[in-house]
Amino acid sequence: MNIRADLNALAEEYFCSERALIQMIFVAIKDAYPEYKILYFDMEKQYIYAEKNGRSVCFKASRERFSIIKKSLINALKVHRKEVLSRKNFKLLRGLYHSRFCNKIVRTHIVSLGEKHIEMAVKDREMLALKVRLFVSIDDFFDTDLIAVGHNFNVFIQSIRIEKDRQIILKGVRKNDVIVEKEIESLFAYIEKKSGKKIDFNVAKVDLNRALVVLNVYEKYADSILGKVAEAIKKRVGFSLFWTKKERIDDGKIRKAQ
């Protein structure tokens, strides 16, 4: 269990700081154990340190009390999120949503075609619940993208705008180096799944202007597979693929393969 990751995920989901979240957990524990004076809670080991009748005790929450703590915490988090979303501080809201949604890749499909922009529907439960709308300029698609209602695409979220009615408008792009890397990674993952052959590589360069990608490849006999990836990436995003053979040596350094 990664406690730190779980805390970060909860803090993001309910728009609160990690410090505020820990304080809510502490309050929830106090509510679940009114007969104790709660002194400290060890987040990593899940131990509760308390005092009762002048004696110091240390214990883990029982299953029944843990259920009470969890319920109390979730209720407090929901109240906190509702308060945040009801505020009229649009700058604060924009910052919260920006950290949550921007600079990330989301899976989408086209729902309507405009003269200059395409509206996409996101396949993310939270974005759907918040009624997020996502638009991508026609100019920000790859030349090879087949633009039609219902077609699926990975989209990179670039910016966010919140309207006065609190509707959240996201701007996304297809023609982006992160998307190109994602397409390449998915191709190699597909090849590994089908053939069992894992190719050791990294993306050295993505040139959007020249429509090319350069890989560092640490495999001597991967030309046939790389050729197939090159054909596929050309069809998917219209980019040419080049690679440089390198080898790893024992001291951790890398040198060009002979």
Spatial contact of 133 and 169, defined as CB atoms under 8 Å apart:
yes
- Give the per-residue pLDDT at 145: 92
**Looking at residues 6-20, what average pLDDT do you find?**
78
- Give the per-residue pLDDT at 46: 87
| Confidence at 2, pLDDT banded by 50, 70, 90 | low
Which residue has tokens 């996304």? 172
| Confidence at 76, pLDDT banded by 50, 70, 90 | very high
| Confidence at 228, pLDDT banded by 50, 70, 90 | confident
Cα–chain center distance at 187:
20
pLDDT at residue 88 is higher than 60: no
- Give the per-residue pLDDT at 246: 80
Sheet holding 47-52, edge to edge: 37-42, 47-52, 55-59
- Give the per-residue pLDDT at 11: 78
Task: Return the CATH fold of 97-173.
Answer: OB fold (Dihydrolipoamide Acetyltransferase, E2P) (2.40.50)
pLDDT at residue 258 is higher than 50: no
Spatial contact of 202 and 215, defined as CB atoms under 8 Å apart:
yes
pLDDT at residue 195 is higher than 90: no
- The listed range with the strongest mean pLDDT (38-47, 115-124, 145-154) is 145-154
- Is CATH 3.30.300 the right assignment for the domain spanning 177-256? yes
The lowest-confidence range among 3-7, 148-152, 184-188 is 3-7
**Looking at residues 101-119, what average pLDDT do you find?**
90
**Looking at residues 87-113, what average pLDDT do you find?**
79
What is the full DSSP assignment across 59-111? EPPPHHHHHHHHHHHHHHHHHHHHHHHHSS-HHHHHHHHHHHHTT-EEEEEEE
Report the alpha-carbon distance of residue 205 to residue 192 in Å, rounded.
22
